[in-house]
A and B are shown apart, each in its own frame.
Chain A
């Protein structure tokens, strides 16, 4: 009897482990597909009790580009190629250099440390049979995520950010997608080499590590990731001396700005407010030490 029970426990453990590994493999395939598969479609972005429709065109590889245009609300469009990223709105255009990071935030080996990942179920999304992967946060430093992935080609069909009370904070879902097999190609060469294990100038939230850094004059931008979620930390001197904390939110993206004296740290990410505030506080303090 006892032996049967043990055997059952072992088999259950193996099954759960296999499910987690399957889910991680799916996440890895999804990341890979983003840089290899050409597609276009319409996504619905649900946030703040409203939804917006956005058209997406993704052409990876040499001469590739990405185009995202809003179909509802304020007309806005983003066009990105290897050279620059252009954000256009009526009477207004913003041009920024396109940055491609050699180090990618997705790291299957580390995702499991911060999230309990499992292959949850199957659902039909945008006409495709999708596998549902749940990445449940192991602590309150980050949000949980639910991802819908097409197992046939690895393409991500949807993602939802889930809050601490199991509420959906925001959700992006494809309502239609056309995969263009002819345009499939290799990933574009990275423009900005940011490899290697870097040491952050401040203690990072549990599970996060520095994956890229950019210096622009006196301003430093640090890209932090726990393997799935991402925070950008900006460190910069300011002309005016202040002691102030400011918090803002856009959809599920939290911003915490902490200025201490003439140094300011701004943390932006799809993380709980406490995580952003904590990091901004620590970084501002470190800048003044």
Chain B
């Protein structure tokens, strides 16, 4: 089967229109073909971005960073003569902090000053976290060679949200792992309805 043919089938599978036998074959291949799995994940990411599910930084991100840098430069200009090296270092730190704060603001779902910013922390602005970032004692090796595997953005779908919730609850009740099975129900991205509700509340309060 040619690459084009496989990609065409992958596209059809994403649209939910691939015949069951072909879907089964392709999904098995997805599990064994890292390149194809990567394409699958990238396409999902792209699809979510096109649907504006908050996977990318806003279009004016670069302009805002530039403005922030210009503003910092302007504010720090006068004292440079007296102790230039010190203030230049401070300005650099402030710029870095400003960019970091801006990135954090992008990742925060509540109280965003810009209503066009994404509602949740996303892969575009939050670096993948490894367990070693949290506590140096945690080790995942040797079972896992990679500490954090980034899949495509979670997808929101009103029609199927309740299945995830109900499965999570059943898993918590009957599952082998007990209460930790409830954690994804609470921590996973909110449903589209909740996101809309939160954005609406935020707009009112502003």
The chain A residues found within 8 Å of chain B, CB to CB, are: 27, 30-31, 34-35, 43-52, 54, 56, 58, 66, 68-70, 73-78, 80, 85, 87, 89-92, 94, 96, 98-101, 103-106, 120, 123-125, 134, 136, 140, 144, 146-147, 156, 159-160, 162-173, 175, 211-212, 221, 223, 225, 227-228, 230, 232, 234, 244-253, 255, 257-258, 260, 266, 268-270, 272-274, 277-278, 281, 284-285
Q: Chain B residues near A167 (CB, 8 Å)?
A: 144-146, 149
Q: A91-B200, A101-B170 are in contact. List 15 more A-B contacts (CB 8 A).
A: A48-B151, A50-B128, A54-B187, A68-B185, A73-B109, A80-B182, A87-B165, A140-B32, A172-B183, A221-B166, A230-B167, A245-B23, A252-B151, A253-B167, A277-B27
Also in contact, A245 and B18, with CB within 8 A (given A31-B178, A168-B146, A250-B188)? yes
Complex contact B16–A245 (CB within 8 A): yes
Q: Chain B residues near A172 (CB, 8 Å)?
A: 180, 183
The docked-state distance in angstroms from the alpha carbon of A126 to that of B163 is 32
Also in contact, A123 and B175, with CB within 8 A (given A77-B186, A244-B17)? no
Cβ-closest 8 pairs across A and B: A34-B178, A167-B149, A106-B176, A101-B174, A49-B150, A52-B187, A274-B27, A49-B128
**Across the two chains, which residue of chain A brings its CB closest to B157?**
A248
Nearest-neighbour CB distance to chain B for A239, whole angstroms, equals: 13
**Across the two chains, which residue of chain B brings its CB closest to A254?**
B27
Also in contact, A250 and B154, with CB within 8 A (given A49-B148, A90-B201, A160-B143)? yes
Nearest-neighbour CB distance to chain A for B152, whole angstroms, equals: 7
Complex contact B186–A105 (CB within 8 A): no
Complex contact B184–A168 (CB within 8 A): no
Complex contact A98–B16 (CB within 8 A): no
Also in contact, A168 and B149, with CB within 8 A (given A34-B178, A74-B194)? yes
Q: Chain A residues near B152 (CB, 8 Å)?
A: 249
The docked-state distance in angstroms from the alpha carbon of A242 to that of B168 is 27
Q: Chain B residues near A278 (CB, 8 Å)?
A: 24, 27
At the interface, yes or no: B31 with Cβ under 8 Å from chain A? yes
Nearest-neighbour CB distance to chain A for B36, whole angstroms, equals: 12
Q: Provide the main secondary structure of the chain A interface.
A: strand
Complex contact A273–B126 (CB within 8 A): no
Nearest-neighbour CB distance to chain A for B178, whole angstroms, equals: 3
The docked-state distance in angstroms from the alpha carbon of A167 to that of B190 is 25
The docked-state distance in angstroms from the alpha carbon of A164 to that of B140 is 15
At the interface, yes or no: B173 with Cβ under 8 Å from chain A? yes
Residue of A74, A123, A171, A281 touching B110 (CB-CB under 8 A): A74
Residue among A66, A169, A175, A232 with most chain B CB within 10 A: A232
The docked-state distance in angstroms from the alpha carbon of A162 to that of B170 is 22
Residue among B27, B164, B189, B197 with most chain A CB within 10 A: B27
**Across the two chains, which residue of chain B brings its CB closest to A228?**
B176
At the interface, yes or no: B137 with Cβ under 8 Å from chain A? yes
The docked-state distance in angstroms from the alpha carbon of A281 to that of B197 is 35
Q: Chain A residues near B128 (CB, 8 Å)?
A: 49-50
Complex contact A58–B188 (CB within 8 A): no
Nearest-neighbour CB distance to chain A for B40, whole angstroms, equals: 9
Residue of B14, B110, B138, B197 touching A125 (CB-CB under 8 A): B138
Complex contact A258–B20 (CB within 8 A): yes
The docked-state distance in angstroms from the alpha carbon of A99 to that of B167 is 12
